[in-house]
Each structure stands twice: as structure tokens, then as C-alpha cells.
Amino acid sequence: MKKRVLLGMSGGIDSSVAAMILQERGFEVMGVTFIFSGDVESNSHHSSQAAKSLADALGISHIVVDLRTEFKELVINYFINDYVSGKTPFPCAVCNPQLKFKFLEKIASDCSCNFIATGHYVRITEKQGIKYISSGRDRDKDQAFFLWGLKKELIEKLVFPLGDLLKQDIRQYAKERGFVSLNEKKESLGICFIEGNNYRNFLIDNGLTGSPGNFIDLQGNVLGRHKGIYYYTIGQRRGLGLQMNKPLFVSEIRVESNEVFLSDFDTMYRNRIFLENTHFVEEKLVRSDKTYSVKIRYRLQENLCTITLLPENRAIVQLKEPLAMVAKGQTAVIYEDDCVLGGGFIEGSE
């Protein structure tokens, strides 16, 4: 009896090659494509058609599931509400555990699939009898940072066919099997539901225009006027509209007073990060006397740290070396070697 796997398919090269590899490994593959946004004329629709065509070519079953309502209620509303609260949201950290993988798990159960697969560039590593998401071989494409919120029971069912491959291997794999057109597809970049990755226009379209207020320095001096707090994010330097004799960066956004604080880059370093809504694969194995590493942005290098878990899904991350541009609302992901132990949402720093 073949092992049965449910594969999330976007119509792109990664999930398509994942389907081929799974077949070669002896899996019976069933594909599913989620529609998260747009309409029947949108890219989402074209992606589902591309996935269906690939599934037909490989002789695997394929379904399309419309999750636009759930996506709006969970992800888009969260995204907007975080900006209203003066935070910098990270929608993937909500979408992956609470929507995408939640529905993959449900559909897999309904369709009697033993395993769940995606085209993510990550691996599964077992330590002390527990399976963790770990970094993929292709460090430039590694996506472990985005999957810190997945629960232990789900990770045990996951298969990642691309984890040990490089992107160039994937392209060659598709070419050798006659799927040359897959190499011509553009890769998605930025926030998937925002056209052109222009989040400011997206916020305006959703009624968040903001009102002008003051730019303030750390001494309380008014430096000028801003267009509205939704136009700015922590660490921003360009687009401030100020003529100053030195570079200034957004260091704090205060919703209550509608003020945006600016400072020198040197003043933005922090030694401690406070987390809320934390999740760890195996919380009891996370020790306060042990050194781990933390990453607060996808392309940022990991920093050594210790972590103290607190009640009510909170934690304090003590950095070995200070980090700059720690933004409320973003996520901090905790690693041990290449394994993702878990993470949380940044609620503050000092």
C-alpha cells in the first residue's frame, strides 16, 4: 500500500518539483491549492489553473479550496489591526500555523493522507526523539524562519522534498523532466496579498489614511510634521520628508499621541526583547541557562541569546550582542543549531 501525501501546490516550480520528487519516492500524491485573495481573474485563479495543469500532467488528483473569507478574517484583519496599534505586522507568522497548515492538516485527515508536504526549503531534524523544522540546505532560500508556529503533532506528519536541494537543482530537475515552462514563472516576493508590495496603498484602500502629527527627537523637540503613523516603520530612514544635517531613523511610533520618534542609528540598539504569544515545539526542553540563537528578521544573521519563559505565553530574550531596529509586532525565532525551537511576537525591547 502506497504512502499517501497531501501536497500544497501553488502552480510554481517549487511545489511542482516537490510533486515529482514525492512520486519518485513512491508516494501517492494528492494536490491542493488554496485561494487566499483576489477574484476569478486574479493571479490566485491563474495559480490554481497552473497547479491543476501540472497535476493532470503528473496524473495526480487535485482540488482547489477557497479560503478568501478565512484569510480576510484572520490575516488581513490582523495585518490592519497591527498597523492601527503602531506595530509592524508579520502576516506569514499568522497565516502558516493558523490557516495554511491548519487546513492542510484538516484536508489530509479528511482525505486519509498520512503525510503533508509543501515546497518549502526546510528540513525535518530529530533531536532527543522530537522532530523540529530546521534550515534547508539552500541558505539563500531557507524558509524555516516562517514556520516557527507549527505544533509538534503536525511537524511529525510533514515531508519537505526540497530541503536537501539547491534552487539550481530544482530548476535543472524540472528541465530534465520536460517542464521547462516552470523555470519561466516569476517567484512571488514580499507580502502575497498586496499588489506591488505597496502596503501603504493597501492600508489607504482599507480606510487607514492616518492623520498628520509631529516628528519628535529623543529630547522632545519637534523636528517637523509626518503624514500619518501608518506611513512609517521602525528603522525607516527614507521618505521622511525632512531636511536634516545627519541621518535619522524611525525609532518609536506612539499611537496615543500620534507621534513618530526619530533618532541616530546608534541609539536604536537593544539588549533585551520581550515576547508575547510564544510557541515552542517542546517548551519543557527550553532552558534559561542555555545559549541559543535568535533571528528577528528573515535576512538578518542569527544572534546568540538566552531565553527565559514566563507565564501566559511570554518570554524574555537576553541578547549576547545588542540588536538594532527591533520592531513591535515582528517575530523573534529561537534556534538551537539549525533547529527552530519556536518563537513569539515582539511586544517590546530595551
Q: What pLDDT score does 199 carry?
A: 84
> Does 8 show up as a binding residue in the annotation?
yes
Domains in the chain, CATH or no CATH each = 3-195 (3.40.50.620), 210-267 (2.30.30.280), 269-349 (2.40.30.10)
**Mean of pLDDT values over 201-205:** 88
**CA quadruple 349, 75, 302, 285: dihedral sign:** positive
Q: What pLDDT score does 82 carry?
A: 95
Q: Which of 7-16, 42-51, 65-74, 242-251 has the lowest mean pLDDT?
A: 42-51
pLDDT tops 60 at residue 40: no
- Count of other CB atoms within 10 angstroms of residue 171: 15
Q: What pLDDT score does 200 carry?
A: 84
Sequence-distant (6+) residues with CB within 8 A of 153 are none
pLDDT tops 90 at residue 185: no
Residue with cell 535543472: 172
Q: What pLDDT score does 39 carry?
A: 65
Q: Which of 37-46, 74-83, 210-219 has the lowest mean pLDDT?
A: 37-46
Q: What pLDDT score does 196 carry?
A: 78
pLDDT tops 80 at residue 197: no
Query: What are the pLDDT digits (tens) for 92-114?
Result: 999 999 999 999 999 999 999 99
Torsion of the alpha carbons at 246, 247, 252 and 254, rounded to the nearest 10: 70
> Does 14 show up as a binding residue in the annotation?
yes
> Does 10 show up as a binding residue in the annotation?
yes
> Does 42 show up as a binding residue in the annotation?
no
Q: What pLDDT score does 160 carry?
A: 99
Contact by Cβ (8 Å): 62, 31 = yes
Quick one: pLDDT band at residue 41, thresholds 50, 70, 90? low
Quick one: pLDDT band at residue 336, thresholds 50, 70, 90? very high
Contact by Cβ (8 Å): 142, 116 = no
pTM for this predicted structure: 0.94
Quick one: pLDDT band at residue 150, thresholds 50, 70, 90? very high
CA dist 165 → 4, 25, 39, 135, 138 (Å): 22, 15, 34, 12, 7
Quick one: pLDDT band at residue 1, thresholds 50, 70, 90? low
C-alpha cell at 272: 533585551
Contact by Cβ (8 Å): 340, 291 = no
> Does 34 show up as a binding residue in the annotation?
yes
In percent, the amount of the chain with pLDDT more than 90 equals 83
Q: What pLDDT score does 45 carry?
A: 55
Quick one: pLDDT band at residue 188, thresholds 50, 70, 90? low
- What's the mean per-residue pLDDT of the chain? 93
AA letter at 64: V
> Does 13 show up as a binding residue in the annotation?
yes
Query: What are the pLDDT digits (tens) for 300-327?
Result: 999 999 999 999 999 999 999 999 999 9
**Mean of pLDDT values over 206-225:** 94
Sequence-distant (6+) residues with CB within 8 A of 189 are 197
Quick one: pLDDT band at residue 201, thresholds 50, 70, 90? confident
> Does 11 show up as a binding residue in the annotation?
yes
Quick one: pLDDT band at residue 42, thresholds 50, 70, 90? low
The HSE-up count of residue 24 (CA atoms within 13 Å, CB side) is 9
Ordered DSSP codes for 31-97: EEEEE-SS-TTSHHHHHHHHHHHHHHHHT-EEEEEE-HHHHIIIIIHHHHHHHHTT----THHHHII
C-alpha cell at 160: 519537505
Rounded distance, CA 68 to CA 82, Å? 20
Contact by Cβ (8 Å): 154, 144 = no
AA letter at 164: D
Q: Which residues are catalytic?
A: 95, 192
Identify each DSSP E strand in 78-219 by its residue range: 115-117, 122-127, 130-135, 158-159, 213-216
> Does 9 show up as a binding residue in the annotation?
yes
Q: Which of 4, 280, 12 is nearest to 117 (CA)?
A: 4
Q: What are the helix (H) ranges across 145-211?
A: 152-155, 167-176, 199-205
Strand partners, 273: 317, 349
